[in-house]
Amino acid sequence: MEADDLNVAKQRLKQKNLALVIAREGKVVFETSSRGIGGLLKAIEEFDKEMTGSSVADRIVGKAAALLCVFAGVVAAFAVTASEEGIRALRDNNVLCRFENRVPFILNYKRNDICPFEKLVIKISNSKEAYEKLKSFAVERKLM
């Protein structure tokens, strides 16, 4: 079922040019065109344990997004662009990982430095710790 959900999420992401799509049991349960990690944090807040067993399609998956997926109990993830650390975090936590483009790291919006969310989790491997830090940082920046 995870491969089916992943295909549902991936197709919707591309067809509607979205930033994030979450599918579970063959249905889209969440989607957003908002860029950045805020969409994934919002989905976790909204759906909590209902995300367990879901599949995620995201434009960009770095380590921050990957650890949020792990925290939420996601079983499969697709990224248009995935970072080395994001791929590693997913695979280390037995999350099926598919991507189109692999990059060394995720950049900020200005493309002149590493994404601030990536910097926050660079030395973290515990998904709960990552979630708490990322959520706090997003709230401080009024991203959620």
The pLDDT tens digits of the residues spanning 53-73 come to 999 999 999 999 999 999 999
pTM over 0.85: yes
For the chain, helix, strand, coil in percent to 5 are: 45, 25, 30
Q: Where in the chain are the domains?
A: 2-140
Q: Are strands 55-61 and 96-103 parallel, antiparallel or unpaired?
A: unpaired
For residue 141, what pLDDT is reported?
Answer: 87
Residue with the bigger pLDDT between 45 and 144: it is 45
pLDDT of residue 142: 82
**Residue 49 pLDDT level (bands cut at 50, 70, 90):** confident
Sort 14 into a burial class: Cβ within 10 Å, 0-12 / 13-18 / 19+. Answer: middle
Superfamily grouping for domain 2-140: Hypothetical protein TM1506 (3.40.140.30)
